Amino acid sequence: MARYMLLLRDRIGEFDDVSPEEMQKVIQAYGAWCEKLGAQHLGGEKLCDGEGRLLRGADGKMAVTDGPFAEAKEVFGGFFLVEAEGYDAAQSLAADCPHLQFGSIEIRAVEEMEGPS
C-alpha cells in the first residue's frame, strides 16, 4: 500500500448558478465517497479562498506576487490523502470524487523514505 495525494484544482466560476438542492447533493456525494473510501481516506485539507502569495527566486533576489492569481483558470483549492495499491487503484478512487464536477484532480504518489532510517 502506498499513499497518494489528490491535488484538487477548482475551475474559476464553476460555482455560479448552483442551486441549494444541487449543493446539498454534492455534499451528500462527498459523504458517500468518504464512506466508500473508509480507512483508505487518510485526511485532507481545504485551503483558504481568495488570498495567496507566490514567491520566486531569481538572481539571488526574491519576487513576491500577491494572490489570488487572476491569470490562472484553475486554483489549487485543497487536497486529500488516500491509501491505494497503485496508481490504477488510486485513480479509480479519485474517479468517483465529486470534485471532478468543479475542477481537476492531479494524483501523485507520496515518496516514502527508503533504506535504513
Partner 1 sequence: MPQKGCVDDLVGHLFRQASTEITAELTRQLGVQHLGLAEDVVQEALLKALRSWPFHGVPNNPKGWLRTVAKNAAFDRIRRSSRQMDFLPDLDVEARASEELLPDEVADSVLRMIFHCCNENLAGPSRVALTLGLVGGFSTGEISRALFAERATIQQRLVRAKRVLKEGEIPFDFPSPANLAARVDSVLDVIYLMFNAGYVADQGRELVRRDLVDEAMRLLSVLLENPAIASPSGEALAALMCFHAARLTTRSDEARRLQLLADQDRGRWDQDLIRRGFRHLLAAMKSPALSRFHLEAGIASCHAAAPSTAATDWPQILKFYDQLLALTSSPVVALNRCVAIAMARGPAAGFHEFQALEGKEILAPYLCYHVVRAELLSLAGNADESRAAFRLAASLAGSDPQREYLRSRIDGHSDEAARHD
Comparing CB distances to partner 1, the nearer of 17 and 88 is 17
Side-chain half-sphere exposure of 42, counting CA atoms within 13 A? 14
Applying CB under 8 A, which part among 10-18, 67-75, 87-95, 109-117 lies near partner 1?
10-18
Q: How far is the CB of 87 from partner 1 (least distance, A)?
A: 22
Please pick, from the candidates 44, 67, 76, 105, the single residue that binds partner 1 as defined by CB under 8 A: 44
Q: Is 54 in the site for partner 1 (CB under 8 A)?
A: no
**Cβ atoms within 10 A of the Cβ of 38, count?**
8
Q: Is 105 in the site for partner 1 (CB under 8 A)?
A: no
Q: Is 26 in the site for partner 1 (CB under 8 A)?
A: yes
Distance CA 100, CA 104 (A): 6
Residue 102: DSSP 8-state: T
Applying CB under 8 A, which part among 53-61, 77-85, 86-94, 105-113 lies near partner 1?
77-85
Question: What CA–CA distances, in Å, run from 79 to 21, 57, 62, 105?
Answer: 25, 26, 27, 9
Comparing CB distances to partner 1, the nearer of 89 and 102 is 102
- Sign of the Cα torsion 70, 72, 74, 80 reads negative
Applying CB under 8 A, which part among 25-33, 58-66, 84-92, 106-114 lies near partner 1?
25-33
Residue in 44, 51, 103 with CA at minimum distance from that of residue 79: 44
